[in-house]
Structure 1
């Protein structure tokens, strides 16, 4: 049993679940904002938001923001005990989460008549600033998603466009992060930080995909270079006029081509092990192997002729 392979599979599954959990959490908060714009009268939006937060918790149980979102929803329907259960769960994963603390205090105040210590009335101006900032994060995130790479690409011109778009998205993130740090809201900003963190995760993934695409292009250029070497070797082969020259060619040029071919195969395996689709490069690699085999056959033919 290959423990290394087992651990690698576990890491890939865990990473995928985390990504799905973050996406579901972000969707839940987006739906909450839309519901707030209707005065929380659209029950279908509240139901969809609840489903999104539950999905997020199932995919990533350690994300406090998902529990906070679900707790907030339960407070809207006056399910104080259910809300407190979710908010306490959030505090287990993030003891300093300001949203969870203030909402839990609010719930206990409503349910038990306890005095409020930290919850202050939300002014209309603060609510408006909050909603506007959420919308700005959502807009920036959607723009980044529009150019998101699902698989590495070999098209240099298209990749340059994506690199430019990615740079602009990174600039937007930095601006939003700086503004959030300076934003003066009467309500806690942890929910905004959660949305901004999801945006940051998206950008990190795109950075990784762009770098992998650049590695793809380098590997493609290396394959093409070796193909050109094989073509040159086939052209020069008829000019070898002695057995010694042919043997020297086989031991040096051909062996070097085979060594490079093995190195390229290792690089392809490494990229494939990361979960990327390498079929486009595999076809070029197979062409290179066929060309080297053809060169080997021609060398063998010359040796059989008596050189």
Structure 2
């Protein structure tokens, strides 16, 4: 039938697009490997080569979020740079894709063994949004400047949590923390500017406020992801209900109903492709989408048999 043909054409188009992205990702990954080899040959004195490897593997990860290798490679580079926290993040990201990924498991075990042989250090948490400061205005301004420096370093280095149901509570918490921190520092600087020049610190605050606005946008995007997750789940339930009805000998959906399902699948696919091109991780959305398409194909095949 025409509807089934349209569905298969839609699937073919998505597979073709994914194939192009995977090819691009592989090219970037190979470039990163060559750059890392160059850095190793220089005994890691060639910082430009390390930067090239970092940039290439970031791009490879953006183009193919199902491949654990770029994530693991990024973890290794951050480990070389002495940033264990970021290294752990990327090794864990690789394991989220492939829980059996050997290199990532080995490096995480290595990091854990190093930590267990060192004296315990106090756990560092984020600065409180109600942090206390010196009564001396000049000292307080220096403290605010240092706090902003540390905040920007921490938040600009770490990747944003993936939008969608799984990480949405974390995004809400992060965005709330940034908003409250910006408001508190704004109030401090407004009070301090009566006696001191706060211009340089204001510039750093502006950077944090820009980051906070990015998180606001990210929060809205996460809400859109959750809305699509809900919509696709509802469409999947409708398709399964039609399949159950057919098994019970009841009438199946009309051709018009099938067309509506196809239009919805088309809309879901287009929106996911757009988000994927913007660099968002859409793996959770794609998983539900594939289930919907598979069940719709079953329904169409069952109707063809009648």
TM-score, length basis structure 2: 0.49
| Larger-Rg structure | 1
Q: Which has the higher contact order (CA 8 A, sep 6+)?
A: 2
